[in-house]
Amino acid sequence: MKILVLFVHLVSSNEGSNQTFLILFIHTLFSDESQFGWGYSQSDGPKTWGGKCISGKQQSPINIQQNNANIANYAKLNFINFDTIGSVKIMNNGLTIMASGMQEWNENQPYISGGGLKYNYQLVQFHIHWSQMNENGSEHTIDGKHFPAEIHLLHIKEGQSMNESLHQKDGIAVVSLLVNIRYNSSVLTAFDEVFKTLLLNSYKGGPTVVQQYRPSSILPTNYDSFFYYEGSLTTPGCEESVIWLILTEP
C-alpha cells in the first residue's frame, strides 16, 4: 500500500478558545449499546467483523510510517463552500457522534477538489472517534503514535449516491483530522455547539438539529500537508472505496 505525504499551499485564519467538552462527557454520550450488532469490545470488535474487514487487501486504518512515505507535489487541496452556514443533523448512534444534512444545502453543499483527487467530492457527514482515557482515540497512527481523537469528514464523488460511491475504488474521499487536545483548541471549539445539543439529548436517538453551522470551523489553522493513500471504510463492511487524506498537523 503506497502512502504519499503531500505539501500544498492553503491558509486558514480560523481561531478558537480552549475547549475540553470533548472528553468531559464521553461517558454520558455513549452509555447505550450500539444498534448495529458490532462495536469495539472484545466480543464484537474488529476481529469478529468478518468479510472484507478480514480478507481485504487495502484495509484501513493503518500505521503511517513517515520514513516510508513518498513526497508528491500535487495541487492544493481546496475546501469549497466550507464557509457556508446551514443546519446540520446531529446523531448519537451509540458508537459515534455524527453530523449530516449537508446534501440538503443544494448548490451550497461543501465539497473538496485538488490534492491528487481526480473528481470533486461532496461532504455528506462528519463524525469523531476518541478514547475515554484521552490517549488512544484515533484510528490511524503515525509512527505508531495514537492521538486522543480523530475526526472524519466523509465525501462522496459528485453526482453519485452513497451506495454508488461505496462500490467504486475512488468513490469516497475522507479528510482525517488527528486531534491533539492541547493544540487543536479551534477544532474542539467547533464541536462546542454539537456537544451542547447532545448533552440535552444524551441518550441514543435523535437526530437533533444545530442551526447556523459553518463546516470551515472544524478545519485546523494549517492544512497545507497531508498523507494520501487508498484504503477502506473503517467499519463493516469495510468497502475498499476510500481515498484517505490525513492532515499532518496534530
Domain range list for the chain: 4-247
Where residue 173 falls among pLDDT bands split at 50, 70, 90? very high
Q: Under CATH, what is the fold of the domain 4-247?
A: Carbonic Anhydrase II (3.10.200)
Please report which confidence band the pLDDT of residue 204 belongs to, taking 50, 70 and 90 as the band edges.
Answer: low
pLDDT reported for residue 95: 74
Helices (H) and strands (E) in the chain, counts: 6, 14
pLDDT given at position 22:
35
Q: Is the pLDDT higher at 184 or at 78?
A: 78
Which pLDDT belongs to residue 131? 64
Confidence band, pLDDT 50/70/90 cuts, at residue 20? very low
Query: For the chain, what is the mean pLDDT?
Result: 77
What local confidence, expressed as pLDDT, does residue 40 receive?
A: 66
Tens of pLDDT along 2-13? 444 443 322 223
pLDDT in tens, 43-66: 776 777 778 888 899 999 999 999
Query: Torsions phi, psi of 59, nearest 5?
Result: -85, 145
- With a pLDDT cut of 70, the percent of the chain lying above it is 70
pTM exceeds 0.85 for this model = no
- Measured at the CA of 101, the angle between CA 198 and CA 14, to 5 degrees, comes to 75
The partner residues of 91 in beta bridges, in order of sequence, read 98
3-state secondary structure of 111: strand
Taking the C-alpha atoms of residue 87 and residue 104, their distance in angstroms, rounded to an integer, is 9
Nine cell digits for residue 119: 473528481
Residues 76, 8 contacting (CB under 8 angstroms): yes
- Let me know: does 230 contact 172? Beta carbons within 8 Å: no
